[in-house]
């Protein structure tokens, strides 16, 4: 591992979580000397990855980060193939649909089909959700046993709500059930009032590509058999378009 690159990535990670932060705070969080952090930040500023607010002198992520993210989303094969199927799933179930990919211990939403009832909804492309607390993450982790073990190796998982499964043994058993059904659910584990159901998507090599699922209001939980069938059908259809020979596919 190249130390300077590792530190630059850590700087971006802190800025992502803090939104705006001073050099001294950034140095404290990274446990690095201010002079070291200043050199890294100055380089990132030169490349547009970080910008400094003139009034407060605080730092925040720059436009180059958005540019890279946009390029990633537009070139992501999963997103390209999932869009039409996700819209169809939303129309079929009357629910909002998210397509996501696993990034370390979080799920990144790469496509969002709003609930088709005409209500005002915030766009969700680009949001991240703790993988252990959402149906998309569970659907992915169930087919990535090494990633699941790494996540559980650090002890109890972070509690998002009182419903979050935090004990490693309990979560491991939960993933076994997900793997048996190729169908994952969560009930208010990440956000109160919000539940979800999801299924895994595989690519031509049989590896996990991501997951697709619906967002279900608590008032409409548990999801019906129609929703379960629709979610699984959609995941199977996207996998087929990505070239997968079978579904749910093989372990990665």
Q: What mean pLDDT is predicted for residues 85-97?
A: 97
**Cα(136)–Cα(183) distance, integer angstroms:** 9
**Cα(30)–Cα(15) distance, integer angstroms:** 11
Res. 251: pLDDT tops 60: no
**Cα(212)–Cα(196) distance, integer angstroms:** 10
The 10s digit of each residue's pLDDT in 155-188 is: 899 999 999 999 999 999 999 999 999 999 999 9
Both tokens of residue 144? 């990535």
Residue 120 CA from chain centroid, whole number: 23
The 10s digit of each residue's pLDDT in 189-243 is: 999 999 999 999 999 888 899 999 999 999 999 999 999 999 999 999 999 999 9
Write the CA distances from 57 to 20, 26, 53, 179, integer angstroms: 10, 12, 5, 49
Instruction: State pTM to two decimals.
Output: 0.74
């Amino acid at each position: 591992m190249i130390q300077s690159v590792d530190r630059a990535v850590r700087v971006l990670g802190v800025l992502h979580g803090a939104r705006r932060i001073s050099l001294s705070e950034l140095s404290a969080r990274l446990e690095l000397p201010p002079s070291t952090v200043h050199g890294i930040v100055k380089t990132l500023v030169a490349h547009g990855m970080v910008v400094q607010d003139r009034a407060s002198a605080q730092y925040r992520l720059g436009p180059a980060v958005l540019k890279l993210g946009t390029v990633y989303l537009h070139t992501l094969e999963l997103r390209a193939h999932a869009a039409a199927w996700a819209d169809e799933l939303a129309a079929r179930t009357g629910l909002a649909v998210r397509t996501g990919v696993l990034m370390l211990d979080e799920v990144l939403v790469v496509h969002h089909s709003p609930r088709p009832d005409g209500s005002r909804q915030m766009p969700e492309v680009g949001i991240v959700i703790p993988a252990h607390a959402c149906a998309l993450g569970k659907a992915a982790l169930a087919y990535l046993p090494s990633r699941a073990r790494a996540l559980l190796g650090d002890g109890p998982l972070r509690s998002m709500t009182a419903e979050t499964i935090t004990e490693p043994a309990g979560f491991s058993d939960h993933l076994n059930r997900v793997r048996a059904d190729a169908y994952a659910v969560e009930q208010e584990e990440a956000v109160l009032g919000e539940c979800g159901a999801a299924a895994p998507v595989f690519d031509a090599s049989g590896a996990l590509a991501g997951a697709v699922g619906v967002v279900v209001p608590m008032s409409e939980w548990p999801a019906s058999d129609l929703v379960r069938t629709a979610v699984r059908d959609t995941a199977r259809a996207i996998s087929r378009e990505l070239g997968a020979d079978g579904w749910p596919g093989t372990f990665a």
